[in-house]
């Protein structure tokens, strides 16, 4: 029986590994970070134990998601090397790494390309007014700095994921501006795989940073279908729109988001590290929502097929093996 490709919804069977939660940014809505120096970094031996337990569990993607060490910190080089080593370890154990570690230098991105099939960085919002509010204590959230990452990823031929954070003080026009900027860069380099539309969702850790805005209300998920439909008009058709289903509590509204143009549900693993108070819906739960409405949930790799040739020679064999495994 043939499958209707227009009714396919994808997800990545993934597990998130965090080298460090420490971060020099102090975004007022963050549910992830800890203060620098409070926690030790993940060791390679500890990571190896985790990865051994994941083997033969149908986990494909290892998302290396890290807090940020300041670019001028004496620990920066060790931090980047730890991320590189974790990616290399994941590769040798049969997984496909995808790194999101904040803004990187061109040389750092070039280095990590050797051990990642794709990479990512959320633009969040490009409006500079957020530097006076939620990003007042977040130097790496300067819009030009983050936009530069998309440019460099294109020049380096790195398949890339980016996205918007919704409900942090932006206007609707700000969203359209950010989406348009993504579209323009993609039209030059054709390297952006996905754009995530992520609703701000307050968690238990939020508010530890003094700010008048640290108690931002959650983004109203019932506004998402309209945002998705407009995003689908702005973005080129070869960019997939991704939404996080654990942040949309209403099953019918999740289906409405898909009907509006979302086609990917992101990495599905045991824990959402960015939003730890919002458990992931697992594969069977998602199928129970999607299948009665005629949608087929299928796994994907962290690199889309059109980018397979962009991978370094050392990565291509792993990608090829996973293509066969999930076909």
Q: Which residue has the tokens 């003094």?
A: 210
pTM, 2 dp: 0.95
Round to whole Å and give the CA distance between 170 and 191.
26
In a domain, residue 211? The reply is no
| pLDDT computed for residue 327 by the predictor | 83
In a domain, residue 141? The reply is yes
| pLDDT computed for residue 1 by the predictor | 38
| pLDDT computed for residue 2 by the predictor | 44
Angle subtended by helix axes 44-54 and 76-92, to nearest 10: 30
Stretch 311-327: mean pLDDT: 93
Tens of pLDDT, residue by residue over 31-64, are 889 888 888 999 999 999 999 999 989 999 999 9
| pLDDT computed for residue 159 by the predictor | 98
CA distances from 282 to 16, 52, 159, 289 (A): 15, 21, 26, 11
At residue 210 the predicted structure's pLDDT band, cuts being 50, 70 and 90, is: very low
240's enclosing H/E stretch is: strand 240-242
Q: What percent of the chain has pLDDT over 90?
A: 82
Tens of pLDDT, residue by residue over 149-200, are 999 999 999 999 999 999 999 999 999 999 999 999 999 999 999 999 999 9
| pLDDT computed for residue 233 by the predictor | 98
Top-confidence residue, 67 or 216:
67
At residue 207 the predicted structure's pLDDT band, cuts being 50, 70 and 90, is: very low
Mean pLDDT rounded to a whole number for the chain: 93
What torsion, rounded to 10 degrees, do the Cα atoms 189, 138, 78, 155 define? Answer: 10
φ, ψ at 42 (rounded to 5°): -65, 130
Stretch 286-315: mean pLDDT: 96
Q: What percent of the chain has pLDDT over 70?
A: 95
Round to whole Å and give the CA distance between 71 and 77.
9
The answer to whether 32 touches 21, Cβ cutoff 8 Å, is yes
At residue 212 the predicted structure's pLDDT band, cuts being 50, 70 and 90, is: very low
User: Looking at 5-9, 97-101, 147-151, 322-326, which range is the least confident one?
Assistant: 5-9
**Alpha-helical runs (H) found in the chain:** 44-54, 76-92, 106-113, 143-156, 172-189, 224-234, 251-260, 283-290, 313-326
Domain interval for residue 70: 5-206+216-326
Q: 165 pairs with which residues across the strands?
A: 198
| CA-based nearest residue to 161, from 204, 132, 118 | 118
Token pair of 189, please? 């380099």
Supply the CATH number for residue 59's domain.
3.20.20.70
Domain count, the chain: 1
Round to whole Å and give the CA distance between 195 and 123.
10
Round to whole Å and give the CA distance between 149 and 38.
28
SS3 category, 161: strand
Round to whole Å and give the CA distance between 76 and 68.
9
Round to whole Å and give the CA distance between 160 and 188.
14
| pLDDT computed for residue 318 by the predictor | 95
At residue 205 the predicted structure's pLDDT band, cuts being 50, 70 and 90, is: low
Stretch 136-144: mean pLDDT: 95
């Amino acid at each position: 029986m043939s499958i209707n490709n227009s009714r396919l919804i994808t997800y990545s069977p993934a597990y998130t590994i965090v080298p460090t939660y420490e971060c020099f940014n102090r975004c007022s809505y963050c549910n992830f970070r800890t203060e620098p120096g409070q926690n030790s970094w993940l060791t390679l031996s500890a990571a190896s134990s985790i990865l051994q337990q994941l083997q033969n569990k149908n986990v494909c993607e290892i998302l290396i998601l890290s807090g940020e060490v300041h670019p001028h910190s004496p620990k920066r080089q060790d931090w980047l090397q730890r991320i590189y080593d974790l990616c290399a370890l994941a590769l040798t154990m049969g997984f496909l790494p995808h790194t999101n570690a904040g803004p990187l230098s061109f040389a750092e991105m070039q280095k990590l390309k050797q051990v990642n099939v794709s990479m990512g960085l959320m633009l969040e919002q490009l409006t500079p007014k957020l530097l006076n509010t939620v990003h007042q204590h977040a130097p790496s959230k300067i819009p030009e700095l983050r936009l530069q990452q998309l440019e460099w990823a294109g020049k380096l031929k790195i398949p890339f994921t980016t996205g918007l954070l919704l409900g942090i003080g932006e206007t609707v026009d700000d969203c359209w501006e950010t989406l348009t900027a993504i579209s323009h860069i993609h039209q030059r380099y054709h390297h952006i795989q996905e754009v995530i539309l992520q609703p701000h969702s307050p968690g238990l850790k939020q508010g530890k940073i003094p700010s008048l805005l640290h108690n931002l209300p959650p983004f109203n998920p019932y506004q998402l279908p309209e945002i998705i439909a407009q995003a689908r008009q702005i973005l080129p058709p070869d960019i997939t729109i991704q939404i996080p289903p654990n942040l949309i509590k209403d099953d019918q509204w999740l289906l409405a988001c898909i009907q509006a143009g979302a086609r990917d549900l992101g990495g599905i693993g045991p824990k959402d590290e960015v939003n730890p108070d919002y458990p992931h819906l697992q594969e069977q739960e998602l199928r129970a929502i999607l299948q009665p409405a005629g949608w087929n949930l299928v796994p994907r790799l962290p690199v889309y097929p059109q980018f397979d040739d962009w991978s370094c020679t050392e990565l291509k064999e792993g990608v090829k093996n996973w293509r066969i495994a999930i076909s």
